[in-house]
């Protein structure tokens, strides 16, 4: 079962995240799907569609790569990397034209062959620094 769950997550990343094929969303996630990320929640398939629409408008060339996966029972942990260029407004931040590379870890819970819940921990500070919105700390010699 764990291997099947990893395949399900890989399909979601490739088909939904990378190819923007929302038609397959119904077979990948449950109708009451919840994403917990950055202190916010995204609810249901329509919430996911809206989130990825906004994301792809801001970063039209965004691409997600799975670096590693671990599965046990009904959970899949996925370490992924996203790369892209900031070409549109994102969370009130006007397009900067800057490229980024950010890493994250998702923990997904799967029930009856569909993802029902997801927790995301992403390097948001690193993203904002790469976009030039937040200054990087200068290293100091002691």
Query: Using one digit for the tens of pLDDT, what is the confidence trace for 87-110?
Result: 999 999 999 999 999 999 999 999
Instruction: State residue 125's pLDDT score.
Output: 95
**Domain annotation covers residue 139:** no
| Local structure of 136: helix, strand or coil | coil
DSSP state of 53: H
Tell whether 74 is covered by a domain.
yes
Q: What mean pLDDT is predicted for residues 14-38?
A: 93
- Percent of the chain whose predicted confidence (pLDDT) is above 70: 97
Task: Identify the CATH number of the domain in which residue 64 sits.
Answer: 3.10.450.50
pLDDT of the residue at 141: 60
The SS3 assignment for 51 reads helix
**8 lies in a domain?**
yes
- Mean pLDDT across the stretch 53-69? 96
- The answer to whether residue 34 sits within a structural domain is yes
Q: Is residue 142 part of a domain?
A: no
Q: Of the candidates 44, 1, 133, 136, which has an alpha carbon nearest to the alpha carbon of residue 52?
A: 44
Q: What pLDDT was estimated at residue 136?
A: 85
The tally of domains found in the chain comes to 1
pLDDT number for residue 1: 77
Query: What per-residue confidence (pLDDT) applies to 75?
Result: 98
Q: 140 in a domain, yes or no?
A: no
How buried is 31 (Cβ within 10 angstroms: 0-12 exposed, 13-18 middle, 19+ buried)? exposed
Quick check: is 136 in a domain? no
CB neighbours of residue 139 within 10 Å: 5
Average the pLDDT over 38-46 and give the result: 92
Q: What is the mean pLDDT of residues 2-22?
A: 94
Average predicted confidence (pLDDT) for the chain: 94
pLDDT score for 62: 97
Judge whether 120 lies within some domain: yes
What range defines the domain where residue 81 resides? 2-130
- Residues 43-49 have a mean pLDDT of 94
Q: Tell me the mean pLDDT in the region 41-55.
A: 93
């Amino acid at each position: 079962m764990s291997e099947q769950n990893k395949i399900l997550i890989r399909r979601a990343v490739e088909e939904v995240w990378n190819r923007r094929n929302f038609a397959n969303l119904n077979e990948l996630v449950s109708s009451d799907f919840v994403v917990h990320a950055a202190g916010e929640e995204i609810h249901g398939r329509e919430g996911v569609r809206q989130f990825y629409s906004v994301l792809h408008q801001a970063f039209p060339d965004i691409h997600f790569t799975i670096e590693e996966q671990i599965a046990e029972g009904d959970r899949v942990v996925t370490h992924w990397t996203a790369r892209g260029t900031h070409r549109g407004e994102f969370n009130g931040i006007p397009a900067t034209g800057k490229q980024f590379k950010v890493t994250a870890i998702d923990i997904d819970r799967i029930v009856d062959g569909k993802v029902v819940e997801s927790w995301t921990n992403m390097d948001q500070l690193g993203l904002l620094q790469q976009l030039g919105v937040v200054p990087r700390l200068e290293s100091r010699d002691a």
